[in-house]
Amino acid sequence: MVAAFRFCYLLTFLSGCSQLVKGGFIVGMAGAISVVLQQGNILDPIVGFLSDLLAPVPPAIAAVGMFISAALMHFGISSGSGESALLIPFSPRWATNLGLTRQVTVQTVLLGEGIVNSISPTSGVLMAALATANISFGKWLKFVAPVVAIWFAVCVVTLLIGVAINWGPF
């Protein structure tokens, strides 16, 4: 009787571990994409191009463009610290070129990262959580898309207010 209980417990444990292994594999793949983009020196030219692209527009539109750019970059760099390490050094250049305060510039990066964390297929944490919960990515996107749209609108309004009040320096 005790042996049968231990065997059932072992099977349940192994079944749970199999779900974690799938999540671990997805986390590894997401990490590999980030490493290829960073070590392949692909991201620096992209960031420079985006800065030059936004230079001729008014500061309010530039801030929203930077927010969208940072969000798009976060699909390729799932690590918040990795994205910040890449984009924050460009913040002074962006702020000067676009007529923005440094606080608004940094906020565009942080908001762009934050909004994408819940929908990025390269986010290891999100993919592991979905795999563990046995929820498909498509089903998750259908569920979270309306919330992300609201967050997007709130972020844009927040950035426009920051530009209008010339937010910073502190």
Return the pLDDT at 23: 59
Question: How do residues 94-151 score in pLDDT, each as one tens digit?
Answer: 777 778 888 998 898 889 888 888 898 877 788 888 988 889 999 999 999 999 999 9
The alpha carbon of residue 44 and the mean position of all alpha carbons in its chain are separated, in whole angstroms, by 17
Q: How confident is the model at residue 60 (pLDDT cuts 50, 70, 90)?
A: very high
Domain ranges of the chain: 2-164
Q: In this structure, how many other beta carbons lie within 10 angstroms of the beta carbon of residue 21?
A: 10
CA distances to 28, 60, 139 from 25, in Å: 5, 41, 20
Biggest CA-to-CA distance, the chain: 77
The pLDDT tens digits of the residues spanning 69-83 come to 888 888 777 666 666
CA 64 – CA 68 distance, rounded (Å): 6
8 A C-beta contact, residue 34 and residue 76: yes
